[in-house]
Amino acid sequence: MTEHNNVQTLNQFIIQRQADYPNASGELSRLLHHIGIASKIVNRAVNKAGLVDVLGAHGDQNVQGEDQQKLDVFADTHFINALRASGECAAIASEENEDIIIFDDAMGRNAKYVFCMDPLDGSSNIDVNVSIGTIFSIYQRVSKKGELPTKEDFLQEGTKQVAAGYVIYGSSTMLVYTTGNGVNGFTLDPSIGEFCLSHPNIKTPKNGSIYSINEGNYINLPAGVKKYIKYCQEKDPKTNRPYTSRYIGSLVADFHRNLLKGGIFIYPNTSANSNGKLRLLYECNPIAFIAEQAGGKATNGVERILKIKPDSIHQRVPFYTGSSAMVKKAEDFLDFFNNI
């Protein structure tokens, strides 16, 4: 990648895009720059995970009742530090913390944005060297600058996001983000330590041949989802079926593959989790924003994810996202079986 003189780094791209908005004053650009810095720190730890003491359980549980891994806590800490250093973030909602984290200093009180994140998605895969990621979402605060931010700053519909993205730590490390003007992907070039534009203006296929769902939960799935899975497995050359089943168990990794190749990711409600398991604010909303900006679709099976008004920072919702035609077909099955 470094052999080409026309490679555009993440920072160059951010500055160039800032010029596209005459009223932009640089705060979001600085915030995105610091997200890139934190991603590189976490990437370094992920790559050395087997050599240093960041593998295994931390010994505590997060607010979700999930066992925290050491790398969960490491990622959470370094993203918080980077966001504090940016001076552009007033508060953070993180999967790893029950309450919002408020930056109670002059910079924090006067910052324009609040930040939602899952600092290390798919952390149960850490010890077995499977792709994991970071998911983030940025909102403009609704509370007055100069005052302390509140939870109301976070309880906004996904349509109010000013930026969202994810980092996937895999065979290569990529940062994919949108500010509402298309989706762009940047691959970390370790030889220069920079994210470089590698996937400009990502568009997901309208249809695909991959479905991603934990079929181990089959017995507990809604009838419409069961029927949709059977539809995916049926042979029909006209619609390129049967589809291929691919499930990693890391939202970032499963979504990233389907974004590029075409497919659907499904994490529905089950008899054990009536509201689903994924969190609206810092998992579903940012991924939905990216999906829609790439030409895809994201719903809870009934309504558009980005139109749901959150009622708590850790709210869970069912999640269907990916190629628009596939998500629409899944919705059709759900609608039919919900009304018989």
Say what the pLDDT of residue 49 is. Answer: 57
218 and 171 within one domain: no
Say what the pLDDT of residue 68 is. Answer: 59
**Distances from the Cα of 236 to the Cαs of 183, 225, 239, in angstroms?**
33, 19, 6
For tokens 């590698």, the residue is 198
CB 234 within 8 A of CB 242: yes
The structure's pTM equals 0.92
Asked whether residue 141 is assigned to any structural domain, the reply reads yes
Residue 277 labeled ligand binder? yes
| Range(s) of the domain holding residue 39 | 10-199
Mean pLDDT by 10 residues, the chain (340 residues): 69 83 74 92 77 48 58 89 93 94 93 95 77 94 94 98 94 94 95 95 97 95 96 94 95 97 97 93 98 98 97 97 98 88
Residue type, 136: F
Say what the pLDDT of residue 1 is. Answer: 44
Residue 295 belongs to domain with CATH number: 3.40.190.80
Residue 131 labeled ligand binder? no
Residue 67 labeled ligand binder? no
Q: Of 220, 236, 140, nearest to 180 (Cα)?
A: 140
Say what the pLDDT of residue 2 is. Answer: 43
**Distances from the Cα of 212 to the Cαs of 134, 243, 246, 250, in angstroms?**
19, 10, 5, 11
Asked whether residue 204 is assigned to any structural domain, the reply reads no
Residue 121 labeled ligand binder? yes
Say what the pLDDT of residue 71 is. Answer: 83
- Residue 295: strand, helix, or coil: coil
Residue 113 labeled ligand binder? no
Residue type, 201: N
Among the three residues 199, 232, 249, which one is the final residue of a domain in this structure?
A: 199
Residue 118 belongs to domain with CATH number: 3.30.540.10
**Tokens representing residue 278 in the block:** 């994924």
For tokens 């558009």, the residue is 304
181 and 259 within one domain: no
